[in-house]
Amino acid sequence: MQKTMETNNTKKFTELLSELERCANNEQKQEQKIKEMNTVLDEMDRKELKSVFAIELFSEIHRMIEEKKLSMENVLLLLKHMGYYKIMNKLQSNDFYCTLLSKRIQEMIVEEKKKKKGKNNEKLLIDLCECHIFLDNHFYPKLFSIYVPFLLKASFNRDESKETQKEAEMALLALSETNLIMKVKKGLFSGIRKIIEFHQEKRNLTQLAYQSAWQFLIFRFITEEAVKEVIGNEMHFAREAIGEMEELIKCVEWKRKEKEEEERRIEAKEVFAIMRWLQLYDSYIYVGETGDEELAGLVGSIARVFREAMCNYTKICDRCINSFRNVVMNKAVNAEALLNGRSVGAVLEEVKQFIVIRPQFIDRINFFKELWARLWEGAEKEKVERKRKELKRKVFDMLEEEGYEEIITTYFVMYKIQFKFLPDSDRLVDYYVYL
């Protein structure tokens, strides 16, 4: 049944493309056909979508543009929708890159940018940028310098209508997908910060848009020393991320295995955002300024998602295990935070449910191996520190009993006059014993 459905969707999409050409002289009919094609895309699963992203399709669209049978506005309406689902389904198709359609869009972006301010079509430029980012995975330094400022501008819209929210979501999603090799000007940090802080005050973005804004910010700026503290202490990343994750968890029917296709499609956006938040947790914990309380909160949030996903969402579980391991392997993190964050209990619960040993089981065992190594390392350090303190106490007692403390103090007063850098007298004994 499902196989027939897949064939029907793909076939219907191809038929609509042919009908699009037949109504070349009627703009309204073409718009209607594009809407129908977008509706078919909405109904496709990942396998069907993959079959659509082919060189033949993009070549056909380009031919229709060349022969003036299809307007660029309608092409972008279709391509943006296709690109959106490519990102949401994590498709790795590279077919668009080597087509004439890709080259045409690149040229249009450059040409539109060259026009003087006021004469260029910003809406067209933004649509072109979004299409190209969604569909083409390659590096274009020249285009990248155009993408970011225009997409940031499109994202910062104070209007709270659904149409504007969708536009901001598309722009921020595109920003979050821009290639990480490319460097962003530091001055653009204030732009993305305004977008995030305005949402914190007014709640004007969708969940996916807000997550995408944070993704762009953290992937681009978290390594900047001056920005780390701002992200944590002023913009409150941990608090915001945990709150957003809680809201997303409520949107998914975790326990029910049998779901209608429509329900799965509705949940897809939430599941996608959850996976991306987990990835952001990793980046923030690894590079950011993280206090013990913040860390325990983030680990606790991962544990909550992990418990919910245990029954039916293997990919989310695997992503959570990966996050737990990353936290354990980060030497700057106190291993105790993992215990406070309830991660160990969460993984143990899932391990109990493994009836047959699967490849994923090894990941769970490796998590405990890493945790044990960290706790053993911590225990060894504590043991050494305890011995050092015991020895120090014995030396202090000996100094006091034998009267050496007074002699040292006398010498200290004499040396302090000559050498200004020596410590204060209340730390004197500690100083000499330490030496």
Query: Helix (H, G, I), strand (E, B), or coil: what is residue 139?
Result: coil
155, 175 in Cβ contact below 8 A? yes
The values of phi and psi at residue 140, to 5°, are -135, 85
Q: Which of 5-9, 242-246, 263-267 has the lowest mean pLDDT?
A: 5-9
Say if residue 228's pLDDT is above 50. yes
Stretch 2-12: mean pLDDT: 66
308, 263 in Cβ contact below 8 A? no
φ/ψ bin of 409: left (φ > 0), alpha (ψ from -120 to 50), beta (otherwise): alpha
Q: Which residues contact 83 (CB under 8 A, 6 or more apart)?
A: 130, 131, 133, 134, 135
Question: So what's the pLDDT on residue 329?
Answer: 72
The string of pLDDT tens digits covering residues 346-389 is: 665 655 555 444 556 566 666 666 666 666 665 556 665 666 67
* C-alpha span between 210 and 109 (Å, rounded): 26
Percent of the chain with pLDDT over 90: 39
Q: Which residues contact 183 (CB under 8 A, 6 or more apart)?
A: none
Q: Which of 1-15, 101-115, 259-273, 340-354 has the lowest mean pLDDT?
A: 340-354
Question: So what's the pLDDT on residue 309?
Answer: 87
Take residue 131 and report the two structure tokens written for it: 């299409």
Q: Which of 2-11, 91-100, 403-412 has the lowest mean pLDDT?
A: 403-412
Take residue 37 and report the two structure tokens written for it: 């094609």
* C-alpha span between 227 and 189 (Å, rounded): 9
What band does 338 get if pLDDT is binned at 50, 70 and 90? low
Q: Which of 209-218, 227-236, 293-302, 366-375 has the lowest mean pLDDT?
A: 366-375
Q: Which of 90-104, 175-189, 302-316, 354-368 has the lowest mean pLDDT?
A: 354-368
51, 75 in Cβ contact below 8 A? no
CA distances from 116 to 122, 200, 287 (A): 11, 35, 41
CA–centroid distance for 287 within its chain: 14
Packing angle, helices 189-202 and 141-155, rounded to 10: 30
Q: What is the dihedral of CA 124, 127, 133, 136, to 10 degrees?
A: -80
Say if residue 433's pLDDT is above 50. no
The string of pLDDT tens digits covering residues 63-105 is: 999 999 999 999 999 999 999 999 999 898 888 988 999 999 9
Question: So what's the pLDDT on residue 416?
Answer: 55
Question: So what's the pLDDT on residue 432?
Answer: 44
Q: Sign of dihedral through CA atoms 32, 33, 38, 40?
A: positive
